[in-house]
A and B are shown apart, each in its own frame.
Chain A
């Protein structure tokens, strides 16, 4: 999922302090699961902002909505009939949702309520960690299902580096060395021979280095 973290209330207040009619829009997908921008967080933020404005003696109307997704036209369209009522939207979706909202409702200011962090997994309740950097050319098949692009600090394709110590990465002793994990799992899978193969230089043009990306699927287009 896309992992995000709530922005501090102070930062959000700074964004919206001069508006009179606000819509706080949550998203029912990733940000709900990582408890940063779902219905519950929308409720908490709305309550906090209502109290803030009242305490400041400002009359501000705050509405709450949580859309199924903010990265799809059909769900964003659900608020078209009332968007003009608001003079700003606070979107608690990931950066994608915030931008799609801004694109769609061009004349309404949209502010982010979360910091979008990475593509990751819920290791345990309350702990998320990065697993993928969307490089556009997945090599997990060669690396025993462990991604060195997102999990090795140096993004090595033929690791480990000389800093790998007792299974930990040299940048942080609490961080597993991705290449140690790869080797351990290749061993487990009886595929250590694969480790001997030198991986060729990766085509980074499919990654962000090649500029903003786009996927066009003629087979599913209308």
Chain B
């Protein structure tokens, strides 16, 4: 298909979005990610029946924590698509990138710089 999507995104492959845990999302932010999004199969179409629904709930938990600690829950998001839908994948990548650009970089980066200074 040779569809382009923003090169700022780093893909981490998982056997199923059900493998995602809150700690993985938090660690990504701790390591400096500006945003984290999980792309799962369409709801109702999980090969393992509810992996993507689990992921959704875990994203929600992570969002709550991110809000509580001042990073902002909107930096984490769940998307769903059919695994055959390449164009949609690229669309989500653009959408998320735009959203994060608006939010600006992970506030921890600035905090780290300040600490080091």
A residues contacting B by CB (< 8 A) are 8-10, 13, 40, 43-44, 47-52, 54-57, 59
Contact = CB atoms under 8 A, between A and B. Distances in A.
B108 A51 contact: yes
Interface of B: 21-23, 26-27, 29-30, 64-65, 68-71, 107-108, 111-112, 114-115
Contacts, number: 50
A51 B69 contact: yes
A40 to B, nearest CB: 7
B51 to A, nearest CB: 14
B71 A51 contact: yes
B70 A55 contact: yes
A133 B115 CA distance: 50
Given A8-B68, A9-B65, A9-B69, 13 more contacts: A10-B68, A44-B65, A47-B23, A48-B65, A48-B68, A50-B30, A51-B26, A51-B30, A51-B69, A51-B71, A55-B108, A55-B111, A57-B111
A43 B26 CA distance: 10
B77 to A, nearest CB: 18
Given A47-B23, A55-B107, A9 B29 contact: no
Nearest to A47: B26
A40 B23 contact: yes
Given A44-B22, A44-B26, A51-B108, A59 B115 contact: yes
